[in-house]
A and B are shown apart, each in its own frame.
Chain A
């Protein structure tokens, strides 16, 4: 049964599906009626008053119907590639949810509206823009920017204003250990990034030597610190341990050091630009490595454009299109991959999947809480223990690490040549693999 609202006006009765629409029509008709009176001043005054009331009605009506989610994207700067992939994940979720009628919170349905800005891959911009999103744009919920460094800055602002933020594209753990109430992390924390790679190398050569070469940014440093300890625990000797400035383009000196150290495996990297350049130059300098795992960069489909330099390079991945998670809600990994490819003509990487999952989990929490009240939604998120296309999701509720992701697993994917084309396959853990590990990698 459709709701119809009947309003009287000049020529009879108006019928409209929504109260706002009917109000709009009758207000407009009233203005036109007034326009015909002889009292010009009165006419003008009344029409202004009516216009103001109309405007107010419209404005509050907009707030009733839409849910505003704010975030920044690195449209420019070094983090551009993966940040835009994350954005595509957000947008695919938004379009699907709006097409299905919006998020259902109790009796109300909300269309999702994004407000986003370009943070230029810079922390200073993130600080200004998140303040703007909260204060001026009145964002009701927030998504994070991409990359641990920027998310750390955004988290300070969001916690300052008490706004709920789902963080995706960020693995550094320290952000959640500073005492927060409204942060919720989707990615597996940085500590676990290279654990799989270490295990994989150890399974092939228990005496392998490791070169740790990583970018000097919060995420990569956090991964390196954990990897050092974990390598020692596994009896693998770290023979080189060096960081480089994130903007480095000339790795020849470091690569010579890697060759001198006679390391078997190179682990490290940073984000896309330096990772891709490092991979290319390692290949050009023919470093005699048996294994190379780089962070982030090889996950992007664009990495394959390096050709032979990309062959055999592995990347710890938050997700891969081939995973076989059975979701409690939302699409399956295969359905998500298909929808993403149809819309963006490229296979999704884990950044896009994380973006989509962030939206999905917020939607689920709002539906469970039956409200868009931040306290209730936060409580719902704190109770979440579910599997989505992205994998397991459960947030730590310990005040010392609130929001830290404690149920999500990582996989190791490797670029393998299949039928003359480079394809990413899951090679570790063995239980989840879709192809055999290639060691030596080249």
Chain B
């Protein structure tokens, strides 16, 4: 009984980090209708950002998350101008191919430089033990930081000028242009923000588990599942979708072999796509 509860809690804690990763993906998707297939590469970039900052500069791991977020933002803006700017508004396949090739290039470079060895950021925090089950401090802190960042994003999108501009552009680009918003620059900043979120989730994942250059793929897949669960273009939905996915994982694990979990996740993915394509957590009406 307590085992199931512990599993659920643990699942939700890790699920929040999946939600953070998905928030970046869904923001980009919702604002500019671009499916960022370089998402996985950006998550890995965040992981390596933390690793390099702690390894070479000796920063404590959690202090490296802030700089990684900022660097991720600038990388995102750069990626926008190189790979995405010219394919916005064109058929969806073009933006898919463009971001996919960016992903291949980045992963290829990463493999050439670091190989496919396992890297680890040594972090150790006292956890909370309850009835024999321990929730590690790193998991708890990652969930707390995710909540803080998600809250920050919510405030930004709803109360900051730039945030409101981003929402305006995602609603109707032409109208926003007519209203005097420099839509191209707003799009690039939104892309940068989405990538920054991906990098941050990568940074948090690095404090939890070891990683390789190729680890991004698995998290990118989870991000797609979460994005669909939460509804496209809905960052709050993405967060809840992540929690839901974590809940699902935690609920299923005590009863079935661990290797079956991805199967269940993708069955849920397909079912949601068919039955509720707008997502389960789409609280807003979108015209």
Contact = CB atoms under 8 A, between A and B. Distances in A.
B169 to A, nearest CB: 37
Contact of A250 (B14, B120, B212, B254): B14
A286 B134 contact: yes
Given A244-B259, A252-B14, A284-B127, A277 B116 contact: no
Contact of A76 (B11, B115, B215): B115
Contact of B259 (A77, A243, A259): A243
Interface centre among A245, A250, A256, A277 (most CB of B within 10 A): A256
B209 A259 contact: no
Given A256-B254, A284-B127, A284-B134, A249 B116 contact: no
Interface in B203-255: 208-212, 215, 218, 249-250, 253-254
Given A244-B259, A284-B127, A252 B10 contact: yes
A80 interface: yes
Nearest to A76: B115
B81 interface: no
Contact of A288 (B116, B132, B254): B132
B57 interface: no
Nearest to A305: B122
A250 B6 contact: no
B6 A256 contact: yes
A120 B116 contact: yes
A249 B3 contact: no
A231 interface: no
B93 interface: no
B274 interface: no
Contacts of B283: none
B132 A250 contact: no
A260 to B, nearest CB: 3
How many B residues are at the interface, by size bracket?
A: 35 or more
Interface in A257-293: 257, 259-260, 273, 277, 284-286, 288
B210 A249 contact: yes
Given A120-B116, A242-B258, A277-B210, A257 B215 contact: no
B257 A242 contact: yes
A10 B211 CA distance: 69
B127 A77 contact: no
Contact of B215 (A243, A249, A284, A286): A249
A191 interface: no
Given A277-B210, A285-B136, A256 B257 contact: no
Interface residues of A, number: 29
A183 to B, nearest CB: 29
Contacts of A78: 116-118, 212
Nearest to B7: A256
B167 interface: no
A257 B3 contact: yes
B156 interface: no
Given A257-B254, A284-B124, A250 B259 contact: no
A275 to B, nearest CB: 11
A253 B249 contact: yes
A216 interface: yes
B132 A253 contact: no
B129 interface: yes
A253 B250 contact: yes
A273 B7 contact: no
B39 interface: no
Given A256-B133, A284-B127, A284-B134, A216 B253 contact: no
A249 B211 contact: yes
Contacts of B250: 253
Contacts of B14: 250, 252
Contacts of A76: 115-117
Contacts of A260: 3, 254
A227 B192 CA distance: 52
A254 interface: yes
Given A244-B258, A245-B259, A249-B210, A256 B115 contact: no
B173 interface: no
Contacts of A285: 127, 133-134, 136
B253 A77 contact: no
Contacts of A259: 3, 6, 132-133
Contacts of A75: 115
Contact of B3 (A80, A248, A256, A288): A256
A256 B10 contact: yes
Interface string A376-404: 00000000000000000000000000000
A257 B120 CA distance: 24
A277 B257 CA distance: 19
Given A256-B133, A285-B134, A250 B209 contact: yes
A243 B211 CA distance: 20
Contacts of B116: 76-78, 120-121
Contact of A253 (B117, B124, B138, B258): B258
Contact of A80 (B11, B117, B211, B253): B117
Contacts of A277: 118, 120, 209-210
A216 B10 CA distance: 24
Contacts of B127: 284-286
A213 to B, nearest CB: 9
Contacts of A250: 14, 208-209
Interface string B1-36: 001001100110010000000000000000000000
Contacts of B215: 249
Contacts of B208: 250
Nearest to A121: B116
Nearest to A277: B210
Interface string B96-128: 000000000000000000011110100010010
Contacts of A273: 118, 210
9 contacts: A216-B259, A250-B14, A250-B208, A253-B7, A253-B250, A253-B253, A256-B6, A277-B210, A288-B132
In the complex, the 4 A-B pairs of residues with the closest C-beta atoms, listed nearest first: A260-B3, A249-B209, A253-B253, A76-B115
